Structure 1
Amino acid sequence: MNDNKKIDNDTRRIISKRIASKIEDKNILYEVEKFHQSTTWQMPYKWTFSKDVLNWESIIEYHDTLPEAELASINMFPTYEVPFSEKCQSTRIYNKKEMISKEIFSNILGKAYGRYRGLGSKNYPSAGGLYPIVPLVLILSNNAVEEVKKGVYVYDSGKYQLKCIKVINQNNIKRIGRNLNSVYPDKMLSNICFAYAIDIEKSVLKYGRRGYRHALIELGLISECLHLAYREQSDIYGDCVWSGFNDNALTVECGLNPYLLPIGLVQWFGLKSV
């Protein structure tokens, strides 16, 4: 179809599924799903670290891998240093008492995830323009964003609006909290959390196994795009990219299928605590 922009969403979904069933390689899809599941963490904790690993980590954590000066000189590159100022961006302590205005939150989401009117592209690139990463917005308190109630939302990048896919109560929030923060199960860092789900089928349909690599790259791009979007508003906001969550359980708590739309990355967001 040459004029596919005029197709309504329901028709688009039906036609795309029909075509996908013809071109999809089920073996590659199963292989990628299986590999993804091999990277997940489950509760109770099923991973342990040896003493040697912890000793190694204590030496190298928070330090960059830099080429040795001798190697640089062998390759005939000049070796010199230029000092720059430093500024920490990651935030783990948030002000959970103050509410973010609807207008500001809308502007941030639009800048981060919205599609350009009439073009379809976003502020971050995606291989083939597929955009297989689905941004979820977890609102964990009625005091988080003006006029937005507790719930799990998906951002509609074409209509610039949040769509609630799951209404949550305090029991839901407790379960989400236990699976969201495996380091401190009873502590919510912020009232707002972004969770990025990977549409596995969409990511591999065109590019095969390489499409999964594209999806992982896009996870990093979309999280950085949120960072840049809120920095345009003000430096009173902060974020923290997070991997310490219970993959499948959190995905289910958000109302998604962990094999079809697994959450691959989490990003806390909110007002920084002064």
Structure 2
Amino acid sequence: MDIHTLQHKKRYGKFDTGPYGLEKYADSQALIYHENSKLDRFLARRYGIGLARFDTDYFRQRSQRPYKVYPGAKRVSLTEYQLLGPPSQADYFTLLGNRRSERIYTPYDLSLRELFVLCHYTYGISRYEQLGEEEKVGFRYAPSGGGLYPLELYVALLAGDVELGLYHYRPDVEALERLKSGDFRSEVARIVPGAPFVDMDNCSAVFLVTSVAERAMLKYGDRGYRWILMETGAIAQNTGLSALALGLGSCLVGGFLDDEVNRFLGINGVSETVQKCIVIGKPADDDQDN
């Protein structure tokens, strides 16, 4: 326990008012991390000096290839759907007003175009810009600290027009990499235990968002983890609004079993670990065709 932690506990003791009893959470690792990753004027100045070391051509070029690749995995191309444009002309503010957590679904097979829309507008590349004479940088639909894009997107497809299984989204080539085939509904329902509050029996897919910590923390240190969490929230909103535009519904499940999800994805849970699970399906009270 360092001096910052002691100061943290003393400070929280002063604010132990109201029904929540904040002092009881003074030993919370989350709050201790938050306290230890704060900046003041001095730390912000030192922080800026450290960031300047990364202002090199090599680092910029290296950091602009944040794409995980599974060599040998069979790809399902989504490129043909790029030409079709957005799925609807739904007004952004209308979508925001209608957004809600859908918990009950009707059996529904996701089409490839729907998978494209969900993946592309969640964490796909929105535009390219030139970096130097040769490099082109791909920017995404979500803000990312330093443009480092530390997240990866996986899809557990449980009902669809293509082979069921676990897929990894490749935004750089606009494709899904099939990591393993099969009906994993029962396993996904076990490790992402949404029931009885979320209908895991009839949902069409579960989006699994992971973070590769070193991409952000290499440059931003401990504070980089804050950027990771903010970015995770941003793309979750993208997923929800994209689903709504397709006439689908979504629901976040926070009680997933971290290590078991990581094993299902085939990642080590340290350098890459799951951050968020998003259930996708056709709302049971919606008969609209897509």
Q: TM-score w.r.t. structure 1 length?
A: 0.62
Residue of structure 1 in register with 2:120 after alignment: 110
Q: 1:145 offset after TM fit, Å?
A: 2.2
Alignment equivalent of 1:129, drawn from 147, 168, 175? 147
Q: 1:88 offset after TM fit, Å?
A: 5.9
Residue of structure 2 in register with 1:227 after alignment: 240
* CA offset digits 1:92-111 (Å, max 9, x no partner): 11112x32222232123222
Residue of structure 2 in register with 1:174 after alignment: 186
Residue of structure 1 in register with 2:160 after alignment: 145
Greater relative CO, 1 or 2 (CA 8 Å, sep 6+): 1
Residue of structure 2 in register with 1:245 after alignment: 256
Deviates more, 1:113-122 or 1:217-226: 113-122
- 1:1-274 to structure 2, matched below 5 A, reads 2=57, 87=98, 89-96=100-107, 98-119=108-129, 120-140=138-158, 144-146=159-161, 148-167=162-181, 169-170=182-183, 172-181=184-193, 184=196, 187-188=200-201, 190-231=203-244, 233-234=245-246, 236-274=247-285
* CA offset digits 1:58-85 (Å, max 9, x no partner): xxxxxxxxxxxxxxxxxxxxxxxxxxxx
| Stretches of 4+ aligned residues off by more than 6 angstroms | 3-6
Give the share of equivalent positions with the same residue, in percent: 26
Counterpart amino acid of residue 157 in structure 2: I
8 Å contact kept, 1:166–1:255: no
Please report the RMSD computed on the Cα atoms of aligned residues, expressed in angstroms: 3.1
Q: What SS does structure 2 have at the residue aligned with 1:258?
A: coil
Change (3 A) 1:132 1:92: same
8 Å contact kept, 1:165–1:255: no
Q: 1:183 offset after TM fit, Å?
A: 5.2
Counterpart amino acid of residue 193 in structure 2: N
Residue of structure 1 in register with 2:84 after alignment: none
Q: 1:199 offset after TM fit, Å?
A: 0.6
8 Å contact kept, 1:199–1:262: yes
Q: What SS does structure 2 have at the residue aligned with 1:248?
A: helix
Q: 1:87 offset after TM fit, Å?
A: 5.0
Q: What SS does structure 1 have at the residue aligned with 2:272?
A: coil
Q: 1:161 offset after TM fit, Å?
A: 1.1
Q: 1:197 offset after TM fit, Å?
A: 0.5
8 Å contact kept, 1:193–1:269: yes
Q: 1:190 offset after TM fit, Å?
A: 1.2
Q: TM-score w.r.t. structure 2 length?
A: 0.58
Name the CA distance, whole Å, in 2 between partners of 1:248 and 1:190.
23
8 Å contact kept, 1:192–1:268: yes
Which structure has greater strand proportion? 2
Name the CA distance, whole Å, in 1 between partners of 2:126 and 2:208.
22
Q: How many residues get paired?
A: 192
